[in-house]
């Protein structure tokens, strides 16, 4: 509070240039023996208007100046101190402990991944190679797959009840599939790019590569809100594949080996996960970026993969105490 009052006192001491100007003008008139008409005009309340239609500040009546000063004081006194950024909770640094691995189609350009009742469901991208597939975890066999039309680029994938919702990158169309049969039921139009998608039990949460997640209605897919994602006050851009897990959202950062754990109520990143080093050097040479997060409810672990990765990794999140993480 000391820092807040000190500037106000300083302002008051030097205060109002209008009143100062009026006092100076009256003193000059007294010294010169009076201004006659101008003095009467001033007392009568009429300030002269200059050729540009703007009042000469030295001819502002004292009463007006006093009122103006009082108003300016009131404004200063009532103004809130400069808002300080709300303190942010420390971001927990996390790393991965690999529990086991599953085979993954190294030709699958993974854009969306989820797990439900013992199966992986995966959306793959690229024009002419996009698909939706149900995969057996242990064998990696695609039990049922549907190729998308060549002009569609598959992206994020989310389940709501007995349906799968699959985004497309720039086609602005979401495909709605029957979960059991993988038959397409309908399509939904939306604006902008589609990257990642998850369902938190109430809304869809959708990324578009920016630092903002969109909330969308579970029925209409209409945008109903937005979440600006910040890590220690800084925007986190390139949010990609998503996974909604018990009140938090995990997001791949495109072209980065980190995953953000996000509080969707505040947009704050509460955990920063180093997901580097999963692939062996030989695997990394033929693989693209990390992209694919699925929650495994039986263990509470995550399953992670990437575009053209040969494996899916079941991982546990553990604190990262390495010097590089600090």
Which positions touch Ca ion (CB under 5 A)?
A: 113-114, 243, 293
Question: From CA 103, how far away is CA 278, in angstroms rounded?
Answer: 14
Least Å from the CB of residue 302 to Ca ion: 9
Least Å from the CB of residue 157 to Ca ion: 7
Are 308 and 107 in contact, with CB atoms under 8 Å apart? Answer: yes
- 107: CB partners within 8 A, 6+ apart: 129, 308
Q: Which two tokens stand for residue 66?
A: 């006093």
Of 25 and 216, which has the nearer Cβ to Ca ion? Answer: 216
Of 152 and 294, which has the nearer Cβ to Ca ion? Answer: 294
- 222: CB partners within 8 A, 6+ apart: 216
Are 157 and 150 in contact, with CB atoms under 8 Å apart? Answer: no
Are 300 and 270 in contact, with CB atoms under 8 Å apart? Answer: no
Of 19 and 114, which has the nearer Cβ to Ca ion? Answer: 114
Q: Which two tokens stand for residue 2?
A: 């000391």
Of 42 and 243, which has the nearer Cβ to Ca ion? Answer: 243
Least Å from the CB of residue 295 to Ca ion: 8
Question: From CA 112, how far away is CA 109, in angstroms rounded?
Answer: 9
Give the residue nearest to Ca ion (CB). 243
Of 153 and 295, which has the nearer Cβ to Ca ion? Answer: 295
Least Å from the CB of residue 232 to Ca ion: 25
């Amino acid at each position: 509070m000391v820092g807040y009052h000190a500037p106000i006192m300083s302002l008051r001491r030097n205060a109002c240039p209008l009143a100062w100007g009026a006092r100076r003008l009256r003193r000059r008139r007294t010294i010169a023996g009076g201004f006659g008409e101008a003095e009467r005009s001033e007392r009568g309340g009429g300030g002269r208007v200059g050729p540009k239609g703007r009042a000469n500040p030295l001819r502002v009546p004292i009463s007006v100046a006093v009122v103006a000063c009082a108003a300016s004081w009131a404004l200063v006194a009532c103004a809130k101190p400069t808002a300080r950024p709300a303190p942010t909770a420390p971001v927990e640094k996390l790393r991965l402990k690999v529990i086991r691995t599953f085979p993954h189609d190294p030709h699958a350009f993974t854009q969306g991944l989820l797990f439900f009742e013992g199966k992986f469901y995966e959306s793959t991208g690229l024009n002419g190679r996009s698909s939706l597939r149900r995969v057996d975890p242990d064998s990696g066999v695609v039990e049922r797959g549907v190729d998308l039309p060549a002009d569609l680029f598959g992206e994020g994938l989310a389940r709501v009840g007995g349906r799968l919702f699959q985004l497309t990158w720039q086609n602005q169309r979401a495909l709605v599939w029957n979960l059991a049969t993988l038959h397409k039921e309908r399509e939904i139009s939306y604006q902008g790019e589609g990257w990642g998608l998850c369902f938190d039990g109430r809304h869809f949460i959708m990324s578009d590569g920016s630092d903002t997640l969109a909330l969308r209605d579970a029925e209409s897919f209409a945008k109903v809100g937005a979440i600006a994602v910040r890590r220690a006050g800084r925007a986190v851009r390139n949010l990609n594949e998503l996974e909604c897990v018990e009140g938090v959202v995990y997001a791949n950062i495109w072209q980065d080996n980190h995953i953000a754990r996000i509080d969707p109520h505040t947009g704050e990143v509460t955990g920063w996960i180093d997901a580097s080093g999963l692939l062996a050097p030989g695997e990394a040479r033929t693989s693209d970026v990390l992209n694919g997060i699925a929650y495994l409810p039986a263990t509470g672990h995550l399953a992670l993969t990437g575009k053209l990765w040969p494996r899916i990794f079941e991982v546990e999140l553990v604190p990262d105490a390495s010097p590089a993480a600090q």
